Amino acid sequence: MSKKPVTSVAEYVKLIASYNTVDIDGTFFYRGQGKHHSDDMNDVNQPQASIFRKCDEMHGVKQLYEKKYYYEAITRFPHEFEGLSSIDRLAKMQHYGWPTRLLDFTRKPLVALYFACEDANEQNDGIVYVVKAQYKKELEDEGCHILSYDSDRALLLGCFSRLTKNEYNRIKDFVEEQMAAFAKNNKGSTQISLSNADREYRINLDTIDAKGDEKLKRAFSKLYSEAERERAAFRVFDTRPQDLWDSFMLSPQSHKMQNERLMLQDGAFCIMGLSGNATSNSRSIILNKIIIDKSKKVDLLKDLNALGVNYATIYGDLSAAAKQVDARVVAKLKEKK
């Protein structure tokens, strides 16, 4: 985390530029928030998707209601979701403020700074997360951190939204067990490979049958059948536990996922796995959490506006432009008084 809160755009840009010296191959992503989310399920210092902050305390165990939100949206507005994949549906739900396992990021650091200051709330410091996600073509089969929207891994994570709480928790417990067993015999590593040597730790019909748990088998059967129903070409092979546990950056390449606002913001999504943390994946790293001085939010917004980053350019529609012009007119009137 930055040692002291940022108070100017110049200071922020200098800090961002300093991360280019980090010797890690990958792509930078940024997320700006007006404050920490104090009701996160896990570590409040981890950025989390809204579905993981929408929890109910039941006998000391926090249960997710993802399926309820997912089908409520589709039932109420079927015409909005007709013909869309799970990922496309989640992207649309995210756009309209429904809780999902997607978390918004941008490739533009000034856009992230705008979001950290947007509320102009002087009660809370803003924060910008700087993430560098690893991507190497040669690592694609080993689970690099940036997925295309139509990858099998993205498909499976998207299908979690169709599971009941019990099905979801059965799978989560089993995945944790497999990773823990592997870590115990491999010096703490949880990166299970696709080699034959690691097959007993992967998720396949043999390892699921070995548990002798019919409810577990039905949970995985539901997950895989949902994936096959959506994509006829999907086939169940060995699944590495970390592919269901980790979170991944997802490029919105589908024209159905894209919208003008997302394009203006150069947006991307982090799709969260069972862990519920944006950086559970060892191939990504939060380089910093930049704190934005709460008392300087208004000044920073003025400076960003001078650089062409404002409400109108961020949101890009007619109403956004009207709001921006109105704010400018009001400001001029105040100057004349």
pLDDT digits (tens, 9 = 90+) for 281-308: 555 566 688 999 999 999 999 999 999 9
What is residue 26's three-state secondary structure? coil
Please give the helix or strand (H or E) that residue 284 lies within, else none.
strand 284-292
Distance CA 144, CA 186 (A): 21
pLDDT of residue 167: 94
- Amino acid (1-letter code) at residue 273: G
Sign of CA dihedral 216, 220, 222, 225: negative
pLDDT, residue 252, reads 64
Nearest one of 60, 63, 40 to 165, comparing CA atoms: 63
Between 37 and 85, name the one with better pLDDT: 85
Q: What is the mean pLDDT of the chain?
A: 82
Nearest to 286 by CA among 10, 24, 54: 24
C-alpha 188/C-alpha 86 separation (Å) is: 34
**How long a stretch of residues is the chain?**
337
Q: Phi-psi region for residue 60, left (φ > 0), alpha (ψ -120 to 50) or beta?
A: left
How high is the pLDDT of residue 39?
45
- Identify whether the C-beta of residue 149 lies closer than 8 Å to the C-beta of residue 252: yes
What pLDDT, on the 0 to 100 scale, is given for residue 41? 40
Q: Tokens in use for 320?
A: 């956004």
- % of the chain with per-residue pLDDT over 90: 39
Most confidently predicted of 52-66, 142-156, 292-306: 292-306
Q: Percentage of the chain with pLDDT > 70?
A: 77
CB atoms within 10 A of CB 215: 10
d(CA 74, CA 26): 36
**Angle (nearest 5°) at CA 244 between 276 and 220:** 120
**What would you report as the CA-atom Rg of the chain, rounded to the nearest whole angstrom?**
21
Mean pLDDT of 49-72: 74
pLDDT of 16: 93
Q: What is the pLDDT of residues 174-183, one digit of tens each?
A: 999 999 988 8
pLDDT of residue 186: 86
Q: pLDDT-derived band of residue 43, with 50, 70 and 90 as boundaries?
A: very low
Distances (CA, A) of 274 to 49, 157, 243, 336: 12, 8, 9, 56
Structure tokens at 108: 């533009």
* pLDDT at 45 (0 to 100): 61
Confidence band, pLDDT 50/70/90 cuts, at residue 236? confident
Q: Which of 198-212, 219-233, 315-329 has the highest mean pLDDT?
A: 219-233
Q: Where are the domains of the chain?
A: 9-164+245-306
Q: What is the average per-residue pLDDT within 36-49?
A: 59
Token readout for 61 is 């165990």
Contact 54, 43 (CB under 8 A): no
